[in-house]
Amino acid sequence: MAATVQIHENSADETGVDKTSGTVRFKSAVETTVDTANRLQIPAAGSDYSYTKQLRFYVSVTPAVDLQNLRAYSDGASGFGTGIGVQYDTATDWQTETDADISGTDIFTKTSGASVDLDAGNTGPHTGTGYKGDFLRLQMTVASTASPGSLSAETLTFAYDET
């Protein structure tokens, strides 16, 4: 039987919220709600940072054998416009949320041909149910050069190999 794999947002605490095929909203507060509360502001100078979002694979139905090669990637191009970016890093353990600069790497540099390795620390093969692989920590940056207004959605793809 094929595994059932979800993507959980583990922001606020280690207990995740299923965001599979859903939306993650960057905010100036630690929460997983997708609404317009706690919006990021364009600063007068410098940059403003969202609180980090932590995403992780969650297996709810055991794979026939195992899961390997956990990864994530973008389409390679940001549609957010000037002054808006999303940076990432990975962690083997849940991290306290922060709105300080994580000094990560631009997520839009990661594509299907050069993806983020999400089982580098918590290595596979992964069997059984529960959380698997590493946390993908994301943070939006808003520079003083950004234009006001709502942003269009971007897609982040999570993939794995199953045997």
Total structural domains within the chain: 1
Residue 159 has pLDDT above 90, yes or no: yes
> pLDDT of 89-99, one tens digit each?
999 999 999 99
Domain, as residue range, for 138: 4-162
- CATH number of residue 46's parent domain: 2.60.40
> pLDDT of 103-150, one tens digit each?
999 999 999 999 999 999 999 999 999 999 999 999 999 999 999 988
User: How would you label 39-53 residue by residue, b for 16+ Cβ within 10 Å and e otherwise?
Assistant: ebebeeeeebbbbbb
> pLDDT of 53-87, one tens digit each?
999 999 999 999 999 999 999 999 999 999 999 99
